[in-house]
Amino acid sequence: MERETITPTRTPAPEPMYPVQSHPQPQQVISMSMDTVQGFEGLQRAAKMLSCSALVPKEYQGAAGIASCVIALNLAARIGADPLMVMQNLYIVHGRPGWGAQFLIATFNSCGRFTALRYEFVGKEGEDAWGCRAWAIEKATGERIEGAVVTIALARKEGWYQKPGSKWQTMPQQMLMYRSASWFIKAYAPELAMGLQTAEEIGDIIDVTDATVTEVQIPAGEPPVRSRRSRVEALKGNAVPKASEPTTHQAPELGASHIAFLKAAAEKQGIDSVYVDEAIAGLPMLDSVAREAFLDDVAAGNVESWEQWTPKVGGAA
């Protein structure tokens, strides 16, 4: 009797209720840097975008600021900081870049390798031996690390304290803390400072030749000089109108710190050199109250103050 062969049949799999989605392949992440072509192209695109923003400082705006934006982005990537914060806290003082002291301290505090900076004062306030040292705890070892002591006596010997308009005279405690912090960071975490000094340090160590306005001769019965350039020259004593009975005014000396401050502020704010020359030449003619008012306006970043004040500084009605 022959056996019947039974062939098994396969039941087809049911159709899925929902369509199966394919998982996309992960895209390659390209970091912005100057090390690769793709990274450099990314830097340029980001720099172009930032240069179009009104939130970045004037030096970084427009087509002329793209290169500066690239450098700021590169610095930000190297120290692990936000690019906008780098742009807001990188100052150009006499052609040299420098960090704001507060920004450098904040970068150190957030680096994760140390505890936040602390300060220890030595000596008695009001005396030359009064000073400050910065210290922190290294998290990996638990070791307390101390920086060098900065004293008022040191500030005097280095010439920081005696400069006209020096902040060491008006806010010594703050300057002691800033300088001791800067020295500590450059000693124990130099990669954060990137070899740059703070703006306060640059202002202290760079000497600017004093500009002294000697004599201003005003002809009797003559109207004041109206031309900007001729008024500057007249104030400098280079183009003194002739007069039978001139009246001579002896102008006081303008300190180096004021000149340095005006030039740095003008460079940062994009002020024409004519206004700068006029301000330097005419500031000694103002009384102390008016002079401080003008300097306060400039420090506050009021660009219009240059045009508003220089006619007063220059002696025009």
Q: What is the pLDDT at residue 74?
A: 85
- Region 94-112: mean pLDDT is 86
pLDDT of res. 75? 84
Select from 142, 258, 250 the least CA-distant residue to 203: 258
For residue 232, what pLDDT is reported?
Answer: 39
Tell me what the mean pLDDT of segment 168-172 comes to. 92
Q: So what's the pLDDT on residue 310? A: 57
* Residue 55 to residue 61: CA distance in whole angstroms: 9
Residue 31 has pLDDT above 80, yes or no: no
pLDDT at 119 over 50: yes
Domain boundaries, given as residue ranges, for the chain:
37-90, 105-205, 215-314
In angstroms, rounded to a whole number, what is the distance separating the alpha carbons of residues 257 and 17? Answer: 79
Query: Which pLDDT belongs to residue 220?
Result: 42
Per-residue confidence band for 223, with pLDDT thresholds at 50, 70 and 90: very low
Indicate yes or no: pTM above 0.75: no
Reported as a pLDDT band with limits 50, 70 and 90, residue 14 is: low
All residues at 6 or more sequence positions from 93 whose CB lies less than 8 Å from its CB, including other chains: 199, 202, 203, 206, 260, 264
